[in-house]
Amino acid sequence: MKRVMTIGGSDSSSGAGIQADIKTFSALGVYGTSVLTAITAQNSYGVQAKQEVPVELVETQIESIMNDEGFAVDYAKTGMLYSAAMIEVVAKELKRHKIPFVLDPVLKAGSGGILLEDNALSTLIELLLPICVVITPNVPEACFISGLEIRDKEDAKESAQKIHKMGASAVIIKGGHLEHEIAAGKATDLIYDGAFEEISSAYIKNRSFKKKALPKKHHTLYTAEKEKRVHGAGCSFSAALTAELAKGKNLRDAALSAKKFVHDAISGGEDLSDLIVVNQVYRLWKDADRYRVLENVKEAVRMLKSTKNFGKLIPEVGTNIGMAMEAAESEHDVAAVDGRIVLTKEGTHAGQVDFGVSGHVARLILAMMKQDQAKRSAANVKYSSKIIEACKKAGFLISSFEREKEPAGEKTMDWGVREAVRNLFLALPREKAGLLPDVIFDHGAVGREPMVRIFGNTAVEVAEKVKRIVENLE
């Protein structure tokens, strides 16, 4: 495993600084060490206080790491250095130990607050700029370093060229601050190392939802009302870039990977009043959730196939069972059976379980998740009055909708689930108001087979409900 070092300040909110770097390193599979240069007291409102660590202690921290073969690093990155004296010590140590590093010229916190003294910028330019592998300023930082105003892409190119001439081997000016980018909902990073290259990504935007109606973990960078600040994106980008360079990627591939990493971290970030705090482990959580969902559906399919007389519940179109990932947005976030579960001469047959293979069950689940995010699974079975009676015996809450009443232009599952939920609400006594149906059925329509749908939090839970229906049917 590659070893990397972050040299920077502590962020008490854990969104940026040393904390963000360590989380990024762990998420990307490198071993992270840390050298603390300053302690800050900050939150979503800004930086309330900061205290620099004695430069002698910073020097000793670097020496401790580099003098131990078990920890000696392959790559480093710098963040908050604050003073000229600190920069001098860090530059001396990096040069002495010949450590390749990414220079993140932290001037200001994402939540607000100055993190570099005015007289320290010239020292950073003089001592760190010429020995770094790459410098990663955002647009305001690039303006300070180059002394040029950046209003558009051409200005950014001119600034990058000037910083390159000042001694930097390579420059990445991070996007997202220019007016045309904000209007287009894009962030374009500009790379220059003698030749230009652009890396773009769309911001996470969704103006169709009011904030309170947004699914959990789904966020916007720009709302219809105001622009949101992002806390920790810069640190996370430079840390991700460091990790990828340490693993041997070239600059452009490393920058592309870092860009994607930060995009995911923002999309899964914590949404505060006017600030998004990036979540560096969001992709790991999402991958873990994807695996859990896939395995849960596979187990549910095994349970259904082993349930005696389950075949009696399979309709002509076949049965499918699916489960959505947390905060699912499309059928690609829902795992189901490819080709459904069907009854053959040899018995019950099920296709492979995968994501994005069943539009019908996915739409059904997504419609129910609009009512309750926890209801992430559903299955369809045959309709008959006996099956509905078995559902009642099993103690399930049952509701229905009439396809003949479906308004023009509505999507059947969206409208049907909504209508069934409304009908149950009207039918239940006040003390049970708000409960959602376990079962929703309809009597079909011309060309539409009547159907029963069973809902639950997981696919295994739905399979257990189906088993109870079969038992009560007998």
Please give the pLDDT value at position 241: 98
* Residue whose structure tokens are 């305001």: 140
CB distance 200 to 188 below 8 Å:
yes
Angle CA 155–139–260, to nearest 5:
110
Report residue 97 as tokens: 């130990």
Length of the chain: 474
Please give the pLDDT value at position 113: 54
CB distance 87 to 124 below 8 Å:
yes
Nearest to 51 by CA among 133, 143, 115, 128: 115
Whether domain 3-280 has CATH 3.40.1190.20: the reply is yes
Percent of residues in the chain assigned helix, strand, coil, to nearest 5 = 40, 25, 35
What is the chain's alpha carbon radius of gyration, rounded to the nearest angstrom?
A: 28
Residue range 286-473 forms a domain whose CATH class is alpha beta
Please give the pLDDT value at position 2: 96
- Rounded distance, CA 57 to CA 86, Å? 10
Q: Domains of the chain: which residue ranges?
A: 3-280, 286-473
Please give the pLDDT value at position 215: 35
Report residue 247 as tokens: 């693993």
In angstroms, the Cα distances linking 408 to 186, 368, 405, 421 are: 36, 21, 9, 20
Domain 3-280 matches domain 286-473 at the CATH topology level: no
Please give the pLDDT value at position 5: 98
In 176-216, where do the E strands start and end?
186-192, 196-202
pLDDT less than 50: residues of the chain = 203-226
In angstroms, the Cα distances linking 22 to 35, 40, 44 are: 11, 17, 20
Q: Collect contacts of 17-21 with beta carbons under 8 A, ≥24 apart.
A: 17/79, 17/80, 17/235, 18/79, 20/232, 20/235, 20/236, 20/239, 20/278, 20/280, 21/77, 21/79, 21/235, 21/236, 21/239
Mean pLDDT computed over every residue of the chain:
89
- Rounded distance, CA 267 to CA 270, Å? 9
pLDDT tens-digit profile of 30-54? Answer: 999 999 999 999 877 778 898 999 9
Question: Residue 297: what residue type?
Answer: V
What pTM did the predictor assign? 0.78
